[in-house]
Amino acid sequence: MADRPDTRSQAGSNKPALALHVPEPKYRPGDSVDYSDLDIGEAGGQPRPDEACDPKDMHELAFGLVRVLGEDNKAHGPWDPKLDPETLRAMLGHMALTRAFDERMFRGQRQGKTSFYMKCTGEEATSIASSMALAADDMVFPSYRQQGILIQRGYPLIEMINQIYSNKGDKLKGRQLPIMYSSRDHSFFSISGNLATQTPQAVGWAMASAIKGDSRIAATWVGEGSTAEGDFHSACTFAAVYNAPVILNVVNNQWAISSFSGFAGAERTTFAARALGYGLAGLRVDGNDALACYAAERWAANRARANAGPTLIEFFTYRAEGHSTSDDPTGYRSAQERTEWPLGDPVMRLKNHLIALGEWDEERQDEMDRKAAEKVRETTKQAEANGILGHGLHHPFRTMFEDVFEELPWHLKEQAEQAIKEREIKFPGGLKL
């Protein structure tokens, strides 16, 4: 039998070859950075539609940038929330405390006191200012960089540090990775290391609140990279279909670990524009402008409470530090990106706004920073008395089998007995069981 001719190489030989596009960040380590092509618009230049408007009537707000604070450090335009100086100082205080907390916990990880930590430097406004626009009992479903929400809501710092150290004072009994807090009393849903799972959870919770005729809404935070997860799109579908009273906050900090935002779709359009395809209200906001973050979140909260529908907000910001203590950003991005970022630093911008109002000064800022650092230092000492990583001051070993089942299944009983027996052999009388 004659061989059949190989037609694979001939098929389509007179047609242009297909090419695959692989996103590539503009700047790599050592490159000069130029953000002049980034259109951030003028402060106060975006219109503020009625909170009950049809999403189709706010199309352009998904592509522009809602801004309030101008280069003169003053508030401009219809999105100005007109917050009183006392509220602005409280907001600044929460930011200062969060930044001091991040610095101390980062140092603790480098000293071997915990295994892992994640800072939110440069993103404080996206969590603190926006959460201040919510009611205290609105349910929040955070990602792992929203520690500012807990601090703003008054959660004790010592409980946060105990959890980070997984020590004997940890209310989660060492069952969560460091920084994955949970507090029912502060309407703060458990953080999950699985990306985007909190988005359908937030929508489902909001739907349940509506079914019960309650007045509480839900808000969730997710990184721009996580919007590529299927859970995020399921959340958008359910939110739109059932008109859930929920806010979907997308924190676009330009980087998902070492993958720049283009891999999640940023080269094609904005993340706020994803709202349009689902029929959601979409806002794109200067994430380093605390007043704009507050105003957008309040707008969305009012819309949800009025049963006018859910909102997707993109906070356009920059992750000033590494993804975590396990990451070295100098290996994949230019060091100039942080200093050249055109939207500045959220803490500095809010401080300068208060100074421009005549309600603040550098001396009071220095004192605020000093007190914040001292408070965190003293609280850390108290938490360290409960134990740090690896020195044995943790919850009894047996507790890893508790608090899940009302009655422990037989197979887990066997596993528990075996584990405890092996531990007694390895550490005779040395560790709590």
Is residue 319 among the annotated active site residues?
Answer: yes
Q: Clarify whether 332 is annotated catalytic.
A: yes
Strands 255-256 and 259-260: antiparallel
Tell me whether residue 49 is exposed, middle or buried, using C-beta atoms within 10 angstroms of its C-beta: 0 to 12, 13 to 18, 19 or more: middle
- Reading the block at residue 417, the tokens are 């007995």
Cβ–Cβ under 8 Å, residues 124 and 148: yes
Q: Which of 323, 333, 353, 395 is catalytic?
A: 323
Using the structure block, give the residue that is written with the tokens 């295994």: 115
Q: Is 4 a catalytic residue?
A: no
Using the structure block, give the residue that is written with the tokens 């530090």. 321
Q: Which of 76, 242, 332, 423 is catalytic?
A: 332
Q: Give the Cα separation of 295 and 12 in Å (integer).
A: 56
**Please, what is the angle between helix 346-356 and helix 85-110, to 10°?**
150
- Catalytic one among 67, 94, 319, 395? 319
CB 46 within 8 A of CB 58: no
Token pair 């100098």 is at which residue? 330
User: Burial, 417: exposed, middle or buried (Cβ in 10 Å; 0-12, 13-18, 19+)?
Assistant: exposed
388, β-bridge pairs:
none
| Active-site residue set | 319, 323, 332
